[in-house]
């Protein structure tokens, strides 16, 4: 039996226009998801589209409903077979399922059905399933009109089915800069040199591209890891199109004939191309054609980079095996056309490994990201700082440390068991080079200062120096350095118990060691006074006293991340500028950092005396309303209230709109206009997840009590389905700006009754019921208080 929450949710669909439950919920397999078969009949389906006026769909619901996933798939029969934007590839499903695989996306992306980062998806059992099917109806309407892709949305490619291809993957390196190199090559073809990696296996990277005359067109740059992890080289071909190979509604060619038909208006014949490249690629273990095309980052935007999609090339028999043909270019073309015309295209997984693409989830700012960095000290703090820098986008790093990685270092270090006994700097460099295909990390197994010429060249050319040794001798050596250009140089170290971070940075031609020592000296004495050897250190080895400080890795990671953030800020230091900071953690070990003020701390609350409904509004929102009233005086004014329901009986107002420009304002009358109201509400819903809650209104020189016209307006709103608000709220402001302004709140009901709300102050404050709002805020030219 389905859970009661799901049964109730399905029953609620009886009142949803356009949705008919055919069967379910039932379980297709024991213990699997619940399945609901429905017919969807939206109001507005474009007659010329491939979307049927009525179609059958299967809704797959997680057993944990109202939690878990809800997916909506077209039926094998009586539904759409095409693939549209914001839909998985709509191919036939498994033999034992009556639905296809084209799950439609109704909970993410796209503005046409009110989707964005803040969709406001409900969590309650009686609303969540209904919400998904309402949006499925909207999705079908938008799909039939070709409106699923809206300008300004992130651009998404159609899905290239790779189920029939081998596990090989293609990795390329394309940026906005390389697009400029390719612009003169649209419609052309050539050859590409691939390198196969040892790890990860089955990955082929583009090493360089050549035109059909074997001239180099583009040579992408890769990091140290790539050059040292190549197991083989091979050659393929490339073909560059002017536009993505997309067939309406949103599909890529499935067969070579589909591709030929798509390109029939161009000068490109894929069968002729296959014959031309056959002699180059036929003997290689990895036969691949890269199909390239420019793509934007946003729908409707300009092209920003080239995307390459790999195709595995199957064998074509010799032309001599065809009756009447020889091994001529024409014969090879005919052989390719005969062999491939009905063949499916074997698309390969293809990814852009460009540095900009790999850092999209977050990276440090360019001054530090593009800097050449010298890190001195690869211990606990230094190794963690290095790890963070590389993962945050720093690609040019040199590490200096003469010590060996020992078994005791495992407790707080980024290196692992296989590196025990190796030099810290060299082992760490090897590890970090595997973090990104664009990183070049060098490790020097010597102590600072460096002495050999090649090492000195590195020091002379750096932009940033980070000292994590806590060594006075290193600081003195840095003080002796004289750079030709100013260098950002920092020294960072932890206190004995890691409860403090000492950070000093300078931007100058040498490191001002004496200034650092002067500022650090009081803290050194404090650390010395606080240090208790019996509590803060333990013998690391048996036999004699080898003191090791007791510091946990989570503390090291906290301070390492802090150092990166401080460095990022200090890239703006002026010449000879310095900064000394001591950050301290709390008694429980957590860093003591300033916290952002929690939102909605200035809430004022009203309660309904009969229905137990409460209404909350930030004082800043009230302040904005009163400012508009003061500006409009002596004319009436008003606007819309929007917010959200925190619970069934609690509403929180978040935004109050200005009066629309087409509003009719008089000294004793006000008619709220409609211009841009729908757009304002839609933006509020999409960006903040808030909805219409009611109106606000101003009576200049009068009281904050309801007038007959106010009651008529709110009764109409409560009874009109278009507003979707059966219990609208009204805030009334009355009085004179030069004297006293009073605020009262009212709650209306669909049965034409209403309640005047009582103001009780902040939600957690002392209850002080009053019909009129009393708020201690200074308004320009106005005073807000109780009306008598």
Which of 556, 584, 612 is a domain's end point?
584
- 626 pLDDT higher than 60: yes
Give the span between the Cα atoms of 264 and 262, in whole angstroms: 6
Tell me, yes or no, whether 594 lies in a domain.
no
Q: Are residue 352 and residue 372 in the same domain, yes or no?
A: no
Q: Are residue 648 and residue 553 in the same domain, yes or no?
A: no
Give the span between the Cα atoms of 68 and 5, in whole angstroms: 13
Q: At which residue do the structure tokens 């270092």 appear?
A: 409
Residue 775 confidence (pLDDT): 37
Tell me, yes or no, whether 381 lies in a domain.
yes
Tell me, yes or no, whether 598 lies in a domain.
no
Neighbours of 721 (CB within 10 A): 7
Residue 316 confidence (pLDDT): 77
Give the span between the Cα atoms of 385 and 391, in whole angstroms: 10
Residue 523 confidence (pLDDT): 83
pLDDT band at 275 (very low <50, low <70, confident <90, very high): confident
Q: 618 with 600: CB under 8 angstroms? A: yes
* Mean pLDDT confidence for 644-669: 87
Instruction: Report the chain's mean pLDDT, rounded to a whole number.
Output: 87
List, in order, residues 6 or more apart from 201 with CB less than 8 Å away: none
Residue 424 confidence (pLDDT): 97
Give the span between the Cα atoms of 537 and 551, in whole angstroms: 9
* Mean pLDDT confidence for 478-498: 92
Residue 596 confidence (pLDDT): 36
List, in order, residues 6 or more apart from 407 with CB less than 8 Å away: 420
Q: Are residue 194 and residue 138 in the same domain, yes or no?
A: no
What pLDDT, in 10s, does the model give residues 733-780? 999 888 888 999 999 998 888 999 999 877 554 444 455 544 333 333
pLDDT band at 781 (very low <50, low <70, confident <90, very high): very low
- 666 pLDDT higher than 60: yes
The DSSP output letter for 654 is E
Beta bridge partners of 732: 697, 744
List, in order, residues 6 or more apart from 71 with CB less than 8 Å away: 59, 60, 103
Q: 699 with 634: CB under 8 angstroms? A: no
- 182 pLDDT higher than 80: yes
Q: Which of 267-271, 284-288, 339-343 has the lowest mean pLDDT?
A: 284-288
Q: What is the CATH number of the domain that holds 720?
A: 3.40.140.10
What pLDDT, in 10s, does the model give residues 189-240? 999 999 999 999 999 999 999 999 999 999 999 999 999 999 999 999 999 9
Q: Are residue 117 and residue 53 in the same domain, yes or no?
A: yes
Q: Which of 185, 312, 636, 758 is catalytic?
A: 636
- Domains held by the chain: number: 4
Give the span between the Cα atoms of 6 and 716, in whole angstroms: 35
Q: Are residue 722 and residue 659 in the same domain, yes or no?
A: yes
What pLDDT, in 10s, does the model give residues 24-71? 899 877 668 999 999 999 999 998 899 999 999 999 999 999 989 999
Q: Are residue 370 and residue 354 in the same domain, yes or no?
A: no
Tell me, yes or no, whether 149 lies in a domain.
no
Buried b vs exposed e over 334-369: b needs ≥16 C-beta within 10 Å?
Answer: bbbbbbbeeebbbbbbbebbbbbebbeeebbeeebb
Angle at alpha carbon of residue 238, lines to 235 and 239, rounded to 5°: 160
- Structural domain boundaries, residue 233: 169-358
* Mean pLDDT confidence for 352-380: 94
Phi, psi of 652 (to 5 degrees): -120, 120
Residue 445 confidence (pLDDT): 94
Reported pTM: 0.77
Which of 325, 342, 358 is a domain's end point?
358
Q: Are residue 341 and residue 376 in the same domain, yes or no?
A: no
Which of 314, 342, 358 is a domain's end point?
358
β 169-172/349-352 pair status: parallel
pLDDT band at 597 (very low <50, low <70, confident <90, very high): very low
Q: What is the CATH number of the domain that holds 174?
A: 3.40.140
Tokens of residue 721, six digits:
């389905």
Give the span between the Cα atoms of 225 and 247, in whole angstroms: 39
Q: Are residue 638 and residue 666 in the same domain, yes or no?
A: yes
Task: Return the percentage of the chain with pLDDT > 70, whole number.
Answer: 88
Virtual CA dihedral for 619, 625, 630, 636, nearest 10 degrees?
Answer: -150
**Comparison of pLDDT for 736 and 279, the residue scoring more:** 736
Q: Are residue 190 and residue 273 in the same domain, yes or no?
A: yes
What pLDDT, in 10s, does the model give residues 231-248? 999 999 999 999 999 999
pLDDT band at 284 (very low <50, low <70, confident <90, very high): low
- 109 pLDDT higher than 80: no
Q: Which helix (H) or strand (E) holds 608?
A: none
Q: What is the CATH number of the domain that holds 572?
A: 3.40.50.720
- 594 pLDDT higher than 70: no
Q: What is the CATH number of the domain that holds 123?
A: 3.10.110
pLDDT band at 531 (very low <50, low <70, confident <90, very high): low
Burial of 615 from C-beta contacts in 10 A (0-12 / 13-18 / 19+):
buried
Tell me, yes or no, whether 647 lies in a domain.
yes
pLDDT band at 607 (very low <50, low <70, confident <90, very high): very high
What pLDDT, in 10s, does the model give residues 405-439? 999 899 999 999 999 999 999 999 999 999 999 99
Give the span between the Cα atoms of 168 and 290, in whole angstroms: 13
Does 521 qualify as catalytic in the annotation? no
Residue 10 confidence (pLDDT): 96
Tell me, yes or no, whether 467 lies in a domain.
yes
Q: At which residue do the structure tokens 């190979």 appear?
A: 245
Angle between helices 424-433 and 380-391 (to 10 degrees): 20
What pLDDT, in 10s, does the model give residues 441-477? 999 999 998 888 777 888 889 999 999 999 999 999 9
Q: Are residue 272 and residue 419 in the same domain, yes or no?
A: no
Residue 117 confidence (pLDDT): 41
- 356 pLDDT higher than 80: yes
Angle between helices 4-11 and 125-144 (to 10 degrees): 50
Tell me, yes or no, whether 687 lies in a domain.
yes
Q: Are residue 387 and residue 256 in the same domain, yes or no?
A: no
Residue 53 confidence (pLDDT): 95
Buried b vs exposed e over 73-94: b needs ≥16 C-beta within 10 Å?
Answer: bbbeeebbebbbbbbebbeebe
* Mean pLDDT confidence for 129-150: 94
Tell me, yes or no, whether 28 lies in a domain.
yes
Residue 390 confidence (pLDDT): 97
* Mean pLDDT confidence for 129-149: 94
Give the span between the Cα atoms of 644 and 618, in whole angstroms: 13
Residue 324 confidence (pLDDT): 66
Residue 193 confidence (pLDDT): 94
Q: Are residue 532 and residue 627 in the same domain, yes or no?
A: no
Angle at alpha carbon of residue 37, lines to 126 and 2, rounded to 5°: 50
pLDDT band at 644 (very low <50, low <70, confident <90, very high): confident
Angle at alpha carbon of residue 530, lines to 529 and 533, rounded to 5°: 100
Residue 779 confidence (pLDDT): 31
The DSSP annotation for 658-684 comes to PPPTT-EE-SS-EE---TTHHHHHHHH
Q: 388 with 401: CB under 8 angstroms? A: no
């Amino acid at each position: 039996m389905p859970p009661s929450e799901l049964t109730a949710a399905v029953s609620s669909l009886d009142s949803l226009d356009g949705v008919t439950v055919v069967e379910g919920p039932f379980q297709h397999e024991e213990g699997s998801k619940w399945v609901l078969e429905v017919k969807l009949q939206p109001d507005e389906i474009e007659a010329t589209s491939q979307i049927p006026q009525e179609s059958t769909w299967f809704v797959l619901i997680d057993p944990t409903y109202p939690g878990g996933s809800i997916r909506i798939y077209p039926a094998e029969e009586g539904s759409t077979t095409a693939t549209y934007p914001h839909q998985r590839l709509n191919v036939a499903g498994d033999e034992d399922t009556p639905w296809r695989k084209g799950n439609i996306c109704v909970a993410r992306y796209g503005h046409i059905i009110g989707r964005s980062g803040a969709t406001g998806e409900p969590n309650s059992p009686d609303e969540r399933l209904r919400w998904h099917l309402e949006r499925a109806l909207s999705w079908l309407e938008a799909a039939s009109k070709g409106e699923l892709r809206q300008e300004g949305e992130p651009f998404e490619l159609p899905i290239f089915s790779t189920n029939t291809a081998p596990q090989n993957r293609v990795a390329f390196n394309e940026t906005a800069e390389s697009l400029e190199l390719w612009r003169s090559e649209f419609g052309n073809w050539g050859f590409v040199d691939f390198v196969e990696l040892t790890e990860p296996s089955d990955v082929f990277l583009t090493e360089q591209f050549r035109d059909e005359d074997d001239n180099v067109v583009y040579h992408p740059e890769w990091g140290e890891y790539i050059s040292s992890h190549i197991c083989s080289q091979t050659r393929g071909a490339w073909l560059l199109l002017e536009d993505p190979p997309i067939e309406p509604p949103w599909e890529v060619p499935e067969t070579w004939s589909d591709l030929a038909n798509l390109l029939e208006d161009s000068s490109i014949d894929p069968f002729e191309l296959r014959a031309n490249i056959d002699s180059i690629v036929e003997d290689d273990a990895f036969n691949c054609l890269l199909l390239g095309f420019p793509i934007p980052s946003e729908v409707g935007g300009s092209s920003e980079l080239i995307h390459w999609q790999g195709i595995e090339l199957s064998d074509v028999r010799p032309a001599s095996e065809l009756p009447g043909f020889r091994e001529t270019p024409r014969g090879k073309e005919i052989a390719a056309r005969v062999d491939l015309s009905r063949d499916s295209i074997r698309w390969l997984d293809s990814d852009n490994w460009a540095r900009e693409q790999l850092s999209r989830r977050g990276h440090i700012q360019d001054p530090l990201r593009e800097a050449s960095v010298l890190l001195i000290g690869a211990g606990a703090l230094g190794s963690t700082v290095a790890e963070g820098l590389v993962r945050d986008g720093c690609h040019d790093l040199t590490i200096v440390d003469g010590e060996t990685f020992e078994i005791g270092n495992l407790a707080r270090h980024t290196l692992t068991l296989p590196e025990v006994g190796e030099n810290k700097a060299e082992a760490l460099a090897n590890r970090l080079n595997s973090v990104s295909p664009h990183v070049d990390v060098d490790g020097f197994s010597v102590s600072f200062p460096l002495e050999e010429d090649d090492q000195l060249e590195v020091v002379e050319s750096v932009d940033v120096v980070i000292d994590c040794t806590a060594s006075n001798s290193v600081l003195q050596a840095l003080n002796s350095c004289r750079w030709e250009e100013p260098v950002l140089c920092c020294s960072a170290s932890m206190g004995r118990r890691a409860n403090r971070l000492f950070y000093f940075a300078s931007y100058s031609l040498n490191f001002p060691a004496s200034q650092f020592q002067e500022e650090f000296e009081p803290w050194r004495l404090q650390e010395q006074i606080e240090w208790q050897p019996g509590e803060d250190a333990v013998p690391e080895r048996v036999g004699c006293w080898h003191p090791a400080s007791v510091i946990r890795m989570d503390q090291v990671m906290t301070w390492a991340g802090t150092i990166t953030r401080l460095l990022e800020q200090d890239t703006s230091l002026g010449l000879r500028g310095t900064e000394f900071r001591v950050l301290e953690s709390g008694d429980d070990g957590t860093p003591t950092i300033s916290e952002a003020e929690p939102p909605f701390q200035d809430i004022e609350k009203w309660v309904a005396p009969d229905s137990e409904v409460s209404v909350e509004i930030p004082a800043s929102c009230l302040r904005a309303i009163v400012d508009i009233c003061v500006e409009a005086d002596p004319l009436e004014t008003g606007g819309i209230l929007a917010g959200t329901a925190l619970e069934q009986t609690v509403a929180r107002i978040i935004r109050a709109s200005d009066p629309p420009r087409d509003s009719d304002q008089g000294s004793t009358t006000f008619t709220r206009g409609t211009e841009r109201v729908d757009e304002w509400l839609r933006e509020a819903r999409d960006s903040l997840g808030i909805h219409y809650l009611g109106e606000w209104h101003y009576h200049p020189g009068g009281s904050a009590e309801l007038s007959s016209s106010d009651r008529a307006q709110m009764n109409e709103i409560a009874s009109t389905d278009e507003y979707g608000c059966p219990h609208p709220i009204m805030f009334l402001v009355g009085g004179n700006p030069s004297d006293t302004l009073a605020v009262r709140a009212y709650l209306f009901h669909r049965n034409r009754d209403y309640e005047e709300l009582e103001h009780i102050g902040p939600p957690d404050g002392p209850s002080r019921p009053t019909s009129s709002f009393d708020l201690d805020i200074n308004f320009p030219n106005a005073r807000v208080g109780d009306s008598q």
